Structure 1
Amino acid sequence: MARRSKLARKKNSVTLALIVLVVLVIVALVTGVVYLLLNTEPPADPVTLCPATGPTGHTVVLVDNTEPLNFIQRQALTQRFKELAEKQVPEGQMISVFVLGESFTQNAMPIFEKCNPGTGEDKSKLNANPAQINARYTKEFRTPLIQLRQQITLDKPSDRSPVFEMLQLAAINGFDRVDAQGQRTLIVFSDMLPNMPEFSMFKGLPEFEQFAESAYGRKSQATLDGVEVHLNYLLNYPKLQTTKQAAFWEQYFDNSGAQLVEIDTFEG
């Protein structure tokens, strides 16, 4: 009887150990599944590459295509697009690029509009595919964004330069059309010299208050509430692009609800 009791106890111990082991394995599996469920992001939009919850910020780029870019300016613009792709538009944020010229009504929508999908370098192989993410970033975001400069091929100056209308379209078909959370930024590449039948800075620069009270001034005001504005001045006409002109645009953007945070002289 004693021998049987020993065998029984040994058998019971082995059984208990197996049960504990099975329970531990089940707990580990359940914990792993829960971790993956909690830490796996929903798939991004296949077209815009934006997070399933929407863009976490929005940068609108406006390129004034009414004056031909010289060689230096073309090189500089390519470099600026490279900086946008690699440094200035964080993962999850959207960039919309407008190239607008004399016939602004024919190019009223962005020629490029996607979110930065990220490079995958901060993702875990447990719940993501970093290599696949990086390949998508390169093929669908970085490369086509940098190559946009090749689409700007104007070879002679336009008769008109609808700068105000360009800004309005960037606001309406950029910021207003996209439901993005977070920071909103407008980056403009232009000489900022409107030249239209109703108003031309080539004929003189009025005080902003005088312009704002005119019929054209009232109809050309953009709405850019909460937007940070960065101007990249193309110095095509240095004698006209004075500190007084810069002050005019500072007042214009302030009147639109935006803040002009930077004026940068563009190379070339």
Structure 2
Amino acid sequence: MARSRSRRSSGRGTRRRSGSGVTALQIFAAVLVTGASAALLGGYLWLSYGRDQDVALDQLGCPVTGATGMTAIIIDATDPISEITMANLKNEFRREVAQVGKGQYLRIASLTGQPRELPMMFDGCNPGDGSSVDQWTNNPNRRQRRWEEEFGKPLEQLPASLDNGIGASQSPVMAAVQKIRNDLFDSDIAVPGSPKRIIIVSDMIEHTDLYSQYRSGADFAAYLASDAYRTFRTTLSDVEVTILYVERANRRFPSSEHVRFWNDWIIENGGRIGSIKRLEGLN
């Protein structure tokens, strides 16, 4: 009887070992299937992400869904700029342009003596260079050529052609900012809520028939009492303003007071101050 129980016990042990072997194979197969599924899903998501990033572009090089940011550079051409200041300006210009990322819009305009007259020097988006697109879902070489022809080379060459002042009877800085706000930032070029920047290269001496700092100095109260306040006030609640400040030898008031005036003007109109940088040299 004892031997019979021993054989039954041995049989049950053999079946348990056999069952354990089948389970290990099943687990191994499940791991393989899971790994393959994860790899396929990862590949799909990667390709999908690439397609999402490589959106179609319009004629300006902007995403057809809208630019993801806007930068406007206003270059004051109403007075001459010295050689030292111009060299510093070109370096600052390159740094500011370098901040315009893929899909963002850039407009560069020249401030003349006529209020709201802003001849364009550059107008378009950064389409992204060849490294910004996926080789599986786009053509990096073709994108690189487009970036060089439409964005890279024109902006690289632009500083060399900056006008050194035309000598104008007025300097309507406020009207220029208002025009950028109305014509550009209020347009449908960019996605709603995208960041907006204005960079002004100027001595910032506002001089028009409605208000002139040659007459009233940097007195902000005098500006608030003038017709210019009602005519040129501009909503800048979603705009960051940077000033590249040109020093003038014939200024009739301290530059520190003048910088404070424009700081107050930006805040009065609801804008954010990026920075106010004094360019090197005296003009």
Q: Where on the TM-score scale, by shorter chain, does this alignment land: which range?
A: 0.7 to 0.9
In the alignment, the residues of structure 1 paired with residue 228 and residue 94 of structure 2 have an alpha-carbon distance, to the nearest angstrom, of: 37
3-state SS of the aligned residue for 1:111?
Answer: strand
1:97–1:113: 8 Å Cα contact kept in structure 2? yes
Query: In structure 2, do the counterparts of structure 1 residues 206 and 231 end up closer, same or farther at CA, with 3 Å as the change threshold?
Result: closer
- 1:128 is aligned to 2:138: yes
Written as runs of structure 1 = structure 2, the 5 A alignment for 1:36-185 is 36=47, 39-40=50-51, 41-45=54-58, 47-85=59-97, 87-105=98-116, 107-108=117-118, 110-181=120-191, 182-185=194-197
Structure showing greater Rg? 2
1:58–1:175: 8 Å Cα contact kept in structure 2? yes
In the alignment, the residues of structure 2 paired with residue 133 and residue 37 of structure 1 have an alpha-carbon distance, to the nearest angstrom, of: 19
Query: In structure 2, do the counterparts of structure 1 residues 142 and 32 end up closer, same or farther at CA, with 3 Å as the change threshold?
Result: same
3-state SS of the aligned residue for 1:73?
Answer: helix
Q: Which stretch shifts more, 161-170 or 232-241?
A: 232-241
Query: In structure 2, do the counterparts of structure 1 residues 241 and 136 end up closer, same or farther at CA, with 3 Å as the change threshold?
Result: farther
Provide the identity percentage: 27
- 1:200 is aligned to 2:212: yes
In the alignment, the residues of structure 2 paired with residue 241 and residue 169 of structure 1 have an alpha-carbon distance, to the nearest angstrom, of: 29
In the alignment, the residues of structure 2 paired with residue 142 and residue 179 of structure 1 have an alpha-carbon distance, to the nearest angstrom, of: 21
In the alignment, the residues of structure 1 paired with residue 245 and residue 254 of structure 2 have an alpha-carbon distance, to the nearest angstrom, of: 9
2:247 to 235, 244, 249: 235
Query: In structure 2, do the counterparts of structure 1 residues 35 and 153 end up closer, same or farther at CA, with 3 Å as the change threshold?
Result: closer
Structure-1-length-normalised TM-score: 0.78
In the alignment, the residues of structure 1 paired with residue 213 and residue 171 of structure 2 have an alpha-carbon distance, to the nearest angstrom, of: 10
In the alignment, the residues of structure 2 paired with residue 113 and residue 250 of structure 1 have an alpha-carbon distance, to the nearest angstrom, of: 28
Superposed displacement of residue 154, structure 1: 4.6
Superposed displacement of residue 43, structure 1: 1.8
- 1:246 is aligned to 2:255: no
Q: Which stretch shifts more, 147-156 or 194-203?
A: 147-156
Indicate the residue corresponding to 2:233 in structure 1: 221
2:219–2:261: 8 Å Cα contact kept in structure 1? yes
In the alignment, the residues of structure 2 paired with residue 207 and residue 239 of structure 1 have an alpha-carbon distance, to the nearest angstrom, of: 12
In the alignment, the residues of structure 2 paired with residue 76 and residue 244 of structure 1 have an alpha-carbon distance, to the nearest angstrom, of: 23
Aligned length: 238
1:98–1:170: 8 Å Cα contact kept in structure 2? no
Q: Which runs of 5+ in 1 are unaligned?
A: 1-27
The one-letter code matched in structure 2 to 1:133 is R
Query: In structure 2, do the counterparts of structure 1 residues 140 and 81 end up closer, same or farther at CA, with 3 Å as the change threshold?
Result: farther
Q: Which stretch shifts more, 203-212 or 179-188?
A: 203-212
Q: Which runs of 5+ in 2 are unaligned?
A: 1-38
In the alignment, the residues of structure 1 paired with residue 77 and residue 175 of structure 2 have an alpha-carbon distance, to the nearest angstrom, of: 13
Deviations 1:164-210 (A, max 9, x none): 21121122222122442321111110111012233211223253244
Deviations 1:15-39 (A, max 9, x none): xxxxxxxxxxxxx99x988965663
In the alignment, the residues of structure 2 paired with residue 226 and residue 188 of structure 1 have an alpha-carbon distance, to the nearest angstrom, of: 17
2:50–2:134: 8 Å Cα contact kept in structure 1? no
In the alignment, the residues of structure 2 paired with residue 223 and residue 121 of structure 1 have an alpha-carbon distance, to the nearest angstrom, of: 38
Structure-2-length-normalised TM-score: 0.74
3-state SS of the aligned residue for 1:121?
Answer: helix
In the alignment, the residues of structure 2 paired with residue 34 and residue 244 of structure 1 have an alpha-carbon distance, to the nearest angstrom, of: 56
Superposed displacement of residue 82, structure 1: 2.6
In the alignment, the residues of structure 1 paired with residue 48 and residue 137 of structure 2 have an alpha-carbon distance, to the nearest angstrom, of: 9
